């Protein structure tokens, strides 16, 4: 019996050796690849071994209220005749209109806000801009005053245009700040900086808001983006108001607005379990797509696959 076995083994020994060597090679290669972090085939993992997931740290976030709303008013706008601005503020505010403000000067001022200087009053802006503008006009805006203000460059400045393109000055920079010192401590948002294009003979593009920034008391700067929605209105219910029109009192760190509305419309279903309300926002991608339970099982965002560094609780507004 043993002899038969040995003879058989002898006959097949080259094949047997090749098979053994190949098997050893495959196992070694798999171990090495696994060691260096390459994608090892799933078959090498024991299916019973639980995947190790470190819990996502929770970030503390606060909901902030934007006290400022500024939009272009109705009526014609030009450098010679001026422009009307529509304002609606939750607190008494001061509007400073800087005509012909230098692009570089404004960029520098916005950068210094992030480092050393806190820009929360018109005086701060006046100081920081260092007269790098043609003319400044200020208005006191009453609380919840919805009137339009008209600002224009006085005729004695003899400015009818801001030169050919490319330009080194913005036609108009409107800065909104809170009038009362105590209000500056209540609101996290301390200033609204709006860069406005005003048409003139050299560049006849219609008046429009080029950029709008919100400066916070923590010296962060956020750009407000226009919010677009379906024109039909039937498929998707309208959100209460857009970011640019009316005071955005429901604003939660600006970019969240659209997403939280979207999830309210979508029935608040967690994309993983489909069974619970979405109440977690993943950072840094800011996708709000999972519930409290499911967030503990994932290290990558189920929507964009971005690595999740932190998350925070999304408190949806109470049912209306």
User: Nearer Cβ to Zn ion, position 104 or 299?
Assistant: 299
| 233, HSE (Cβ side, Cα atoms, 13 Å) | 2
Pick the piece of the chain touching Zn ion (CB under 5 A) from 121-129, 167-175, 176-184, 273-281: 273-281
Nearer Cβ to Zn ion (208/300): 300
Footprint (CB under 5 A) of Zn ion, residues 233-252? none
d(CA 149, CA 194): 15
271 touching Zn ion, by CB under 5 A: no
Buried/exposed 149-166: b ≥16 CB within 10 Å, e otherwise: bebbbeeeeebebbeeee
Residue 17: which residues within 8 A CB-CB, separation 6 or more?
none
3-state DSSP assignment of residue 126? helix
- Minimum Å gap between C-beta 272 and Zn ion is 5
Q: Quick check: 303 binds Zn ion (CB under 5 A)? A: yes
Q: How far is the CB of 295 from Zn ion (least distance, A)?
A: 8
Q: Considering only residues 72, 83, 175, 294, which one is a binding residue for Zn ion as defined by CB under 5 A?
A: 294
- 154 within 8 A of 135, measured Cβ to Cβ: yes
Tokens representing 47 are: 């299916």
**Alpha carbon distance, N-terminus to C-terminus of the chain:** 87
- Measured between alpha carbons, how far is 74 from 83 in angstroms, rounded to an integer? 9
73 secondary structure, DSSP code? P
Q: Which parts of 274-293 interact with Zn ion (CB under 5 A)?
A: 276, 285, 287, 291
Question: What residues between 79 and 138 interact with Zn ion by CB under 5 A?
Answer: none
295 part of the interface to Zn ion, by CB under 5 A: no
- Does residue 301 interact with Zn ion by CB under 5 A? yes
Please tell me whether residue 266 binds Zn ion under the rule CB under 5 A: no
What is residue 23's DSSP assignment? H
* Piece in contact with Zn ion (CB under 5 A), picked from 26-34, 42-50, 250-258, 304-312: 304-312
Residues 179 and 140: their CA atoms lie apart, in Å, by 8
Nearest distance from C-beta of residue 308 to Zn ion, angstroms: 8
Min. distance of Cβ 213 from Zn ion in angstroms? Answer: 25
Closer residue to Zn ion in complex, CB, 184/287: 287
98 vs 263, which CB is nearer to Zn ion?
Answer: 263
Binders of Zn ion: how many residues, by CB under 5 A? 12
Q: Could you give the CA distance from residue 198 to residue 101 in angstroms, rounded to a whole number?
A: 12
Distance of closest approach, residue 280 Cβ to Zn ion, in angstroms: 9
Residue range at the interface with Zn ion (CB under 5 A); choices 17-25, 104-112, 241-249, 297-305: 297-305
Name the residue among 95, 67, 61, 96 with its Cα closest to residue 182. 67
Q: Which residue shows structure tokens 């709303």?
A: 69
Which is closer to Zn ion, CB of 193 or CB of 301? 301
Figure out which of the listed residues 153, 224, 270, 314 binds Zn ion, where binding follows CB under 5 A.
Answer: 270
Q: Find, among 259, 224, 258, the residue nearest to 241 by Cα.
A: 258
Closest CB 277 distance from Zn ion, rounded Å:
9
Interface ranges with Zn ion (CB under 5 A)? 270, 272-273, 276, 285, 287, 291, 294, 301, 303-304, 306
């Amino acid at each position: 019996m043993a002899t038969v076995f040995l003879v058989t083994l002898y006959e097949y020994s080259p094949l047997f050796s090749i098979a053994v060597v190949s098997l050893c090679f495959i196992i070694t290669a798999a171990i090495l690849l696994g060691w260096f972090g390459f994608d090892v085939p799933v078959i090498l993992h024991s299916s019973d071994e639980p995947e190790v997931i470190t819990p996502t740290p929770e970030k503390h976030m606060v909901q902030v209220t934007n006290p400022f709303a500024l939009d272009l008013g109705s009526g014609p706008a030009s450098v010679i005749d001026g422009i009307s601005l529509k304002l609606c503020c939750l607190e008494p505010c001061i509007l400073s209109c800087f005509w012909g403000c230098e692009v570089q000067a404004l960029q520098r001022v916005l950068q210094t806000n992030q480092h050393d200087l806190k820009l929360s009053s018109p005086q701060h802006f006046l100081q920081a801009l260092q007269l790098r503008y043609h003319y400044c006009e200020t208005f006191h805006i009453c609380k919840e005053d919805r009137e339009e203000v008209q600002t224009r460059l006085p005729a004695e400045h003899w400015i009818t245009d801001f030169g050919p393109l490319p330009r080194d000055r913005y036609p108009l920079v409107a800065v909104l700040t809170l009038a009362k010192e105590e209000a500056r401590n209540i609101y996290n948002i301390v200033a609204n900086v709006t860069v406005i294009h005003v048409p003139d003979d050299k560049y006849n593009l219609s008046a429009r808001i080029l950029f709008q920034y919100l400066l916070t008391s923590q010296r962060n700067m956020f750009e407000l983006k226009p919010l677009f929605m379906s024109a039909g209105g039937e498929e998707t219910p309208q959100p209460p108001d857009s970011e640019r029109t009316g005071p955005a009192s429901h604003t939660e760190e600006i970019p969240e607005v659209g997403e939280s509305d979207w999830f309210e419309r979508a029935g608040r279903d967690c994309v993983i379990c489909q069974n619970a309300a979405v109440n977690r926002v993943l950072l840094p991608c800011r996708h709000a797509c999972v519930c409290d339970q499911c967030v503990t099982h994932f290290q990558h965002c189920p929507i964009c696959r971005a690595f999740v560094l932190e998350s925070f609780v999304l408190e949806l507004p109470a049912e209306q």
